Structures are given as structure tokens and as C-alpha cells.
Structure 1
């Protein structure tokens, strides 16, 4: 076996290049536009390289979704493990989530996951990867809600994630700003966060007999 030539593309590099091309194609034109010939042209690799690394289109879609999931899981797990969240306030929490979710420009590679989530609704083989990604979102949401003193943080985490995902989809479809996402999060969090306890009402005093 001969050693790889200096500067030659390694198998892992070729796979990443192909997956990146798939995400860009999906983001621009949807899942239906993914063909081996188009991938090869977009990635700058031979047609044989595409079929060598990915035997079926399902393999391509699954690996593309998994790459996004891996990156998102790593990023959100690091945020959830940050000890500074223990001291976070309501406004800071909303701003953090708005920054994380709203700070992403909707280029083709970031639109692609929305397409892949819809595709997971059609292809149950993609659902485990999609579920893994949403689990990472849920962990961060639960961590923030717990830090804010919200009861049933684990149960409410999915609702918060659904709100963020819905606002992201709205932002993608309408071009609205990330500020709308922060406002929605503050509205939800204010309703769920504990309020200051009201002062106890003193018991009624003895009632004086009539005429005394």
C-alpha cells in the first residue's frame, strides 16, 4: 500500500466536502434537488466519489442531518454546562437564547436542517437523528429554566424549544428580526417564572358583640 501523496484529499475530507455540498443544495433548492451529479459538481469531486462514500440517497441525507446534529449538540451541551447559567436572570436568559438562535444567518446550509426535519416526517429512518438534536435543545432549555427557578423545568423545556423553533421558522419565512424571538421568550418566561410571594393576609380579629 502506498502512502497518500502530500496534499491529497483524505477520505474524511471528501466525505465532509460531499456533506457540505448536500446541505447547500438542500438549503437552496430542497431535498428533491439532491442528485449525485449535482453533488459531485457542487463538491468538486468525481461522481464515483459520491457513490463510493454514500451508497444511497438516504445515507446522504442521514449523514448530512447527523453532521448538523453533532455540531448543534456539541454547541448546546457546552452552553448547558456553563456554570454561569446558575446566576442568569430573566432578561439575560432571553437574550442568550435570542443570540444563539437569532444570531445565525439563514444561508443555505442553515436552511437545510428545516428541510431535513420535514423530510424526517416522511422518512422515519431520519427521526432518531432529528430527535437527538432536539434533545440537546431541550437540555439547554431545562438548564436555563431551572436556573430561573421555574417549576417543572424538564416538562416545560420542550414547549420553550417548540416556541424557538416556531419563531425561527417564522423568521425564515417572513424575514422578521431576532428581536421578535426575544420578545416571545420574555413573554413566555415571565408567565412561567415564580413571582415574589405576596405578604400573608393577617387573620381576622375578634368580632365585637353588637352594641359593645
Structure 2
């Protein structure tokens, strides 16, 4: 059955966003142009400008995609675990963090580069508010009515570990596991 026009259009948008993430991860935000994204995505240049009028629009769409991916990944952990057990959550979050530094490194690098580039823009602020609401909802689901400060501290601590390990190039499994467990115990136990 042939795809509808809307489905075909969505596939093109998805290809453009995925191409943008790859370019940003490999070469940085400065390398993103409509022409470059079109070539990477295997779509016509007119498709990139039709769907995303400006470079900022493409970058914001890539930031939205990376944020949604992160919330979905953590939601999958919440789906697997019942209730809140510090040890179980520490193990799962350590695995997630190690994946962010390993097989999903490209996505993680792109996420940080996009955040830095779009910092303070109205679109990025809206993305971060939505991202925060998504993570907060997961925190409430897992911890019950968790204190906002607790959820934000856990997120900030994990983000700090991820950035530190990414920047240093060190992803020692044992250290990451111990660090995540210690953070969760200190913040939530």
C-alpha cells in the first residue's frame, strides 16, 4: 500500500532531523547547512527548506528529537521496574548512562552541542520546559509525589556524570555504576 502524502512528508522530516543529528555529532553545529543536511539525508534541498525554513528550525527540531529520545529511554526503564528500589534504579540508570557513552555516543554529543548552540533561544527554552515536564512526570511515577528538588537533583547529577565521562573519554563501567548508585542513595535514600 502506497504511503500517504503525510506519511511521506514525515519520513522526509525524520530523515532531515536524523541527518542533522549525525552532522552535529561529527562536525559540530557550524557544519549544518540546508545543502549539507539534504545531502546527508538523501533528500532534495528544497525538502529541507520546505520543512525547516531556517538553520535554527532544523537545529531546534534535532534538539526536540534528542530530548524526546532521552525521555522515552528513561520511560522504558520505568516501565521495566515496579516501584522504587535504589539498587535496581542505579543499575538501570548506569546501563543507560553507559549506553549514552558507548553505542549512543553520537546522539549524546549532538545533544550537548545542540543545547549549547540554542541556549537561551525561545525555542530551546520551550523544549527544555517540555523535557523537564517529561522527566518530572517520570520522577513522580517512580517516586510517588517526589519533591521537585529531588527530581531535579537526580537529573542534574546524572547529566553531570554523563558530561564528565563524555568530556574525559573515560567510561569505566565499575566507576559509572558506583557513581550512579552513590548519587541515588545520597539524593533519595
* Fold match (TM-score > 0.5): yes
Pair 1:13 & 2:8 matched: no
2:52, 2:17 → 1: CA distance?
A: 10
The counterpart of 1:36, out of the listed 34, 37, 46, is 34
Structure 1 distance, partners of 2:148, 2:182, is 19
Residue of structure 1 aligned with 2:112, choices 111, 114, 117? 114
Partner of 1:102: 98
SS at match of 2:119: helix
Q: Secondary structure at the match of 1:60?
A: helix
Give the greater-gyration-radius structure (CA). 1
Contact 2:77 2:92 in 1 (8 A): no
Q: Please tell me whether the aligned partners of residues 16 and 38 of structure 2 are also in contact (alpha carbons under 8 angstroms).
A: yes
What is the alpha-carbon root mean square deviation over aligned residues?
Answer: 2.8
1:74 Cα deviation from its structure 2 partner: 3.2
Aligned to 2:20: 22
Name 1:154's counterpart in structure 2: 148
Q: How many residues are aligned here?
A: 183
Q: Deviations over 1:37-95 (max 9, x none)?
A: 11111111221121111111121111111222233333433443x38431x43222211
Match of 1:164 in 2: 158
Give unmatched runs, 5+ long, in structure 1: 195-212
The residue aligned with 1:85 is: 82
Which residue number corresponds to residue 184 of structure 2? Answer: 189
Q: Structure 2: any 5+ residue segments left out of the alignment? A: none
Aligned to 2:57: 59
Work out the CA distance in 2 between the residues paired with 1:41 and 1:84.
42
**Judging changes above 3 Å, is the alpha-carbon distance between structure 1 residues 143 and 102 closer, same or farther for their aligned structure 2 residues?**
farther
Which of the pair is proportionally richer in helix?
A: 2
Q: Does 1:173 align with 2:170?
A: no
The change in CA–CA distance for 1:137 and 1:193 in structure 2 (over 3 A counts) is closer
Contact kept in structure 1, 2:86 and 2:184, CA below 8 Å: yes
Q: Using structure 2 for the length normalisation, give the TM-score.
A: 0.81
Aligned with 1:85: secondary structure? coil
Equivalent residues of 1:77, 1:139 under 8 A apart: no
Q: Deviations over 1:77-127 (max 9, x none)?
A: 3443x38431x4322221111112222324423321111111232423212
